[in-house]
Structure 1
């Protein structure tokens, strides 16, 4: 008999005994707990795999879903206007119509570069924070605020300019973001402090209103490390995520070419956020260029939550190539991208690498090691429970040259390699030289997940044995894998 098993069910391992019997060829006549076929990747994997999400939009900002809608804004290559688009799904933002809600004046103040708009819903009103230069000096950049009382931020008729955000110094300032925490609202932004010989540092202050500061600024980071001073001495593009009793604040550093990268500050959620000592900088960058995935200069991110209401999503821009003719600031091909943000067991975020194009990304956990993940180390596949290199444990299933239900398993951070059986164990080998029979598998639903049967010998499957992945008989939890 025939039946359909949803991709969600296969991924999450939620398949019952009736389904197992049907797969094994039993006479079971129903599949009691098979879910209906989902409509989008986001329903299965937590976040769309569309890449890029929006072309030629740098400094991307995506709201959380508000009244069933996501809203997107970002810098346009012409640096002359503020745009907003909306859609009920993250993937839908890519094709959504775009509205110009504000355009720079022909001359004078704010007639220069328009950068990095952010869209925030505060007290039932919309606010857009953006940076603007002047027509006679496009780099005389300051921060400004727009406000709309309308429900739909795409309606240009509702927007009015409130004016400039006034800080301690009348100097180069940009990339304002805002967040509320423990009954207070804060502004974080980048600014060139006159007495510090850097391009920009990050500052925080409490807010009296969505457009004015209530306190003096506190400098929470300045570029000093080697990865923060490449081309320019820059800390900019802050984004805030409050999780697990901590406040995580990402930022971007260095020039806007392939050296652009992201750093991380962390504060205890109970700390005084206006105290510089509350913020700890992670020593190394947490998101950088990856030539293997062909993603260059990732940065200026924001965060949102996927359609399931649970999965954190990293929003960022990156180019598809390294070499740029002329000033990278005027290269238009920084594309907005999204990918799932993962979490380590200690509650800290795992960013991994900027992933390349392709289908949904999965991690595999063996049934006999519920806290472990399949990873590759020196191209050999193994299972580890303490995993810091996220990308080593990320894979994609794709079509096999054998056709039918057979699939290959590709490494996310080595997209030119596939999982292959070599002398009874599993390794990553170049896809151009892999034997299709040894590098193709069938996902078979079993209780708790899937079994991965080998194409060249259906009687054998992938098994976990003492930290290694080998080929053997399908038996017990060691041959069951949960995909997440």
Structure 2
């Protein structure tokens, strides 16, 4: 049985099977389509896009007492919210508690932005930025503490206190972290006599409410991708790995030009010395026309349910064109995807992925340190993947119907694996039964290891996708060459 191609043509333009509204094959019988393992089953990290609708500047805590906690900016900019769920993906459907609302007038009666929830010495702290009722853009940083075990408990929160910095100026996006026995605050601020909207600063803290000493300016927007619309470095997030301290940040206006940059410091160095920090020359996450994700930024990091896998949480829009001020467009949605790492220990972000199910990378069992990737649309196996997204794919219900799967490219979601003679390519949907058969496979337990997968051609029993010295070919089954690990 095959899905009518007239319906499959809806896939063009980057839509996945589910997004196109296609009916999925019924899962009946022993030959029915078998869903691949979820991201959580493979490596504990979800791909949730969107994770939470209309929530910008998302922050997800590490799992604490069996729960992940989520907070973010709401489109009305009038309140602070907290969600909780035992899984990251579960945050999307979780109930939302309003733990604080801005007053009707006076201080903190304006825009309420970018909350972050931190557990410090057994107590919850909620950092956020707020404007005043008579000047919504007179933004300053605040923090409030809770005596409750659950941050959703409204009764536990004390009144907010302002974080004082050396300058009484536009300041926002406070984040805090501990390093080598010291607690630090990183934030964005407009420093007088510097011609930028906001720079990034770091200072030691004497308490969760107070910084001490002279702050160090560690980033100023100077590069072309940091000054589009506004000269902005903001929204810092900290992750410590591999002997280094990494700080991501967001730059430029909050439309499709919004993007993420990266600062790096040696973990043994003095973090208050600006010379310690180096800035990547290029952004690490940007708008991607192919995946339909615009203005990715203001991220946070968490760790997946396996306790090991790093997860990137950020917001982006599903469209480029915005009517009016992008700050008041409500459709910045929170999203989550796995954070990878280069062999040299630096983070590997890839692209903001589009909507769809779990994302996998495939490694041949006879060359497990390599990955299947596409280059100029040809599929091959390579130990050096220059672009992460070239090696990322999704299993989707097969074009040939029941009992088959198709493999969709993540960064070219209008293209699918297709057998081309004895090799494979990624190609867009085409009319005709030939494409249906050539772009469909039977996914079976790995011939060399049942925890891996093997891919049998849908129209040729006994013929499999094989690895052969860096090439992907089709032919008779070979236990090691026909088996692929998913990661």
Aligned partner of 1:338 in structure 2 is: 336
Stretches of structure 2 lacking an aligned partner (at least 5 in a row): 1-29
SS of residue paired to 2:327: helix
Give, in angstroms, the shift of residue 42 of structure 1. 2.2
Aligned partner of 1:110 in structure 2 is: 108
Aligned mates of 1:438, 1:462 — CA distance in 2:
12
SS of residue paired to 2:136: strand
SS of residue paired to 2:91: helix
8 Å CA contact retained: 1:204, 1:219: yes
SS of residue paired to 2:64: coil
Aligned with residue 467 of structure 2, among 455, 464, 467 = 464
Give, in angstroms, the shift of residue 78 of structure 1. 0.5
Give the 3 Å change call, closer, same or farther, for CA 169–230 of structure 1 in structure 2: same
Give, in angstroms, the shift of residue 223 of structure 1. 0.4
Aligned partner of 1:12 in structure 2 is: none
Give, in angstroms, the shift of residue 479 of structure 1. 2.0
Q: For each residue in 1:275-307, what CA deviation from the matched residue of structure 2 results, as whole angstroms up to 9, or x when unmatched? A: 111111111000011111111100000000111
Asked if 1:82 is matched to 2:80, the reply is yes
Aligned mates of 1:39, 1:397 — CA distance in 2:
10
Asked if 1:58 is matched to 2:61, the reply is no
Aligned partner of 1:28 in structure 2 is: none
Give the 3 Å change call, closer, same or farther, for CA 181–135 of structure 1 in structure 2: same
8 Å CA contact retained: 2:261, 2:283: yes
Q: For each residue in 1:179-234, what CA deviation from the matched residue of structure 2 results, as whole angstroms up to 9, or x when unmatched? A: 00110000000000111100000000010100100221100010000000000000
Aligned partner of 2:7 in structure 1 is: none
Aligned partner of 1:91 in structure 2 is: 89
Q: For each residue in 1:61-82, what CA deviation from the matched residue of structure 2 results, as whole angstroms up to 9, or x when unmatched? A: 0000000011100000000111
SS of residue paired to 1:316: strand
Give, in angstroms, the shift of residue 346 of structure 1. 1.5
Aligned partner of 1:179 in structure 2 is: 177
Aligned partner of 2:222 in structure 1 is: 224
Aligned with residue 131 of structure 1, among 129, 132, 151 = 129
Matches within 5 A, 1:361-400: 361-400=359-398
Aligned partner of 1:430 in structure 2 is: 428
SS of residue paired to 2:159: strand
Q: For each residue in 1:102-121, what CA deviation from the matched residue of structure 2 results, as whole angstroms up to 9, or x when unmatched? A: 11111111111000000000
Matches within 5 A, 1:239-278: 239-278=237-276
Q: For each residue in 1:229-283, what CA deviation from the matched residue of structure 2 results, as whole angstroms up to 9, or x when unmatched? A: 0000000000001111111110000000000000001111111100111111111
TM-score by length of 2: 0.90
Aligned with residue 154 of structure 2, among 150, 153, 156 = 156
RMSD of the TM alignment (CA)?
1.6
Give, in angstroms, the shift of residue 50 of structure 1. 3.2
Aligned mates of 2:99, 2:479 — CA distance in 1:
59
Q: For each residue in 1:11-60, what CA deviation from the matched residue of structure 2 results, as whole angstroms up to 9, or x when unmatched? A: xxxxxxxxxxxx9xxxxxxxxxxxxx999652344222332111111000
Aligned partner of 2:448 in structure 1 is: 447
Give, in angstroms, the shift of residue 478 of structure 1. 2.1
TM-score by length of 1: 0.90
Aligned partner of 1:322 in structure 2 is: 320
Aligned mates of 1:472, 1:386 — CA distance in 2:
26
Stretches of structure 1 lacking an aligned partner (at least 5 in a row): 1-22, 24-36
Aligned mates of 1:120, 1:388 — CA distance in 2:
35
Structure 1 window deviating more from structure 2 (339-348 vs 216-225): it is 339-348
User: How many equivalent pairs are there?
Assistant: 449
Q: For each residue in 1:418-476, what CA deviation from the matched residue of structure 2 results, as whole angstroms up to 9, or x when unmatched? A: 00011211001102447111111112212232221111212211112222211122114
Give, in angstroms, the shift of residue 136 of structure 1. 1.1
Give the 3 Å change call, closer, same or farther, for CA 138–149 of structure 1 in structure 2: same
Aligned mates of 1:289, 1:39 — CA distance in 2:
29
SS of residue paired to 1:161: coil
Matches within 5 A, 1:23-62: 41-62=39-60
Aligned partner of 1:14 in structure 2 is: none
Aligned partner of 1:285 in structure 2 is: 283
Matches within 5 A, 1:396-435: 396-433=394-431, 435=435
8 Å CA contact retained: 1:116, 1:130: yes
Aligned partner of 1:209 in structure 2 is: 207
SS of residue paired to 1:169: coil
